[in-house]
Structure 1
Amino acid sequence: MYTGIQHLHSYMTYLVLLGLVISLVVALGGLFGSKVFTDKHRKLSLLGLIPAHLQWVIGVILYFVSPLGFSNFSGTAMGDAVSRLYILEHPLTMIIAVVLITVGYARAKRQLGEQRGFKSIAIFYTLALILILIRIPWNAWPNS
C-alpha cells in the first residue's frame, strides 16, 4: 500500500505542475491582454487548484503511512537533512503552497468581471509554483 501511494504522489506531481502552468498561462494572457476575468477563466484556474488539493490529501495520507514521515519525527532525525526534508520542510512548504493557491483562487472568483482576477491568479499561483519547485525532493523523483 505504501509503495502505491508513494508512486501516486510522485506521478500526481506532473498533473499539479501542468495544471498550475496552464492556469498561469491563461492568467498572464488575460492580464497582459487587458481581458476581463470571466467564469470561463475561473474554471480554467481550477486546473491548478483541484490537482493541488488532491495531491495534498494524498501527501497527508503518505505522511502518516511512510516510514520517512511522522513516525520518523525525532530530535535526531531533525539533525539529518534528508529526514528533515521529509518530516518538516517538504510538508510545510507544500501546505503553504496549497494555501496560496486556495487564496489566489478565492480572491479571483470574487473578482469576476474585472481584470484583477487574473492578477490574483498570476501572483498567488506563481508563488505557489516556486515553493513547489524548490521543495520537490528531486533526488527521489521516479526515473521512469
Structure 2
Amino acid sequence: MYTVVKDLHSYWAYLVVIMVVVGTVNALVKFFGKKEYGNNDFRIALFTLIVTHIQLLIGLVLYFTSPLGLSNITANGMGGLNAPMRLLAVEHPFVGILAVICITVGYSKHKKKLSSTAKFKPLAIFYTIGLLLILSRIPWSNWM
C-alpha cells in the first residue's frame, strides 16, 4: 500500500504544480489587467483548491504510513534527522499544509467579494504565496 500511496502522491504533485501555476497566473493577469471575473476563473480557482486538498489528504496518509514520515521522527528523534530526512519528515509536510491553508484562505476570501478586481486580489496574493511555498519544499532530488 505504501508504494501505491507514494506513487499517487508523486504523480498527483505534477497536477498540483500545474494547477497552482495556472490559478496563480490567471489571477495575477486578470487582476493587473482589470479583467472581468467569469465562470472559467471560478472553475480554475475551484479546481486548484480541490487538487491541492486531495494532495494534502494523500500526503497525510503517506506521512503516517511512510518510513520517511512520522516513523522516521519516532525512530531517530528530531535531533537524529539529517537534512534530507528532515526535509521529508518535517519541512515538506509542514510547508505543504501551510500552502494548502493559503490557497484555501485565498479561495474563501475571493468568494465574499463582489467586484472582479476584489475577487482576483485575494486569489492573486494567496495563490502566489501557496505556489512559492510549494516550490520551496518540493524534494527536487526525488522528483526529477
- TM-score clears 0.5: yes
Query: Distance between the aligned counterparts of 2:100 and 2:54, measured in 1?
Result: 10
Does structure 2 conserve the Cα–Cα contact (< 8 Å) formed by 1:42 and 1:108?
A: no
Query: Distance between the aligned counterparts of 1:15 and 1:112, measured in 2?
Result: 30
- Cα deviation for residue 137 of structure 1 reads 0.6
User: In the alignment, which residue of structure 2 is the partner of 1:120?
Assistant: 122
Per mean C-alpha deviation after superposition, the further-off stretch among 111-120 and 75-84 is 75-84
- Aligned residues with identical type, % of pairs: 47
Per mean C-alpha deviation after superposition, the further-off stretch among 16-25 and 3-12 is 16-25
Query: Distance between the aligned counterparts of 1:87 and 1:25, measured in 2?
Result: 30
- Cα deviation for residue 39 of structure 1 reads 4.5
Does structure 2 conserve the Cα–Cα contact (< 8 Å) formed by 1:89 and 1:135?
A: yes
Does structure 2 conserve the Cα–Cα contact (< 8 Å) formed by 1:30 and 1:118?
A: yes
Correspondent of 1:95 among 79, 92, 97: 97
Long gaps (5+) in structure 1: none
Q: Over residues 46-99 of structure 1, what are the superposed CA-to-partner deviations in whole Å (9 max), with x where a residue is unaligned?
A: 132111000000000000110111111148453411221121111100000000
**Match runs of 1:1-144 below 5 Å:** 1-74=1-74, 76-79=76-79, 80-141=82-143, 143=144
Aligned length: 142
Per mean C-alpha deviation after superposition, the further-off stretch among 69-78 and 10-19 is 69-78
Output the amino acid matched with 1:28.
Answer: L
Q: CA RMSD in A?
A: 1.6
What SS does structure 1 have at the residue aligned with 2:116? coil
What SS does structure 2 have at the residue aligned with 1:34? coil
Does structure 2 conserve the Cα–Cα contact (< 8 Å) formed by 1:38 and 1:112?
A: no
Long gaps (5+) in structure 2: none
Output the amino acid matched with 2:41.
Answer: H
Query: Distance between the aligned counterparts of 1:17 and 1:47, measured in 2?
Result: 12
Does structure 2 conserve the Cα–Cα contact (< 8 Å) formed by 1:38 and 1:113?
A: no
Q: Which runs of 4+ in 1 moved over 6 A?
A: none
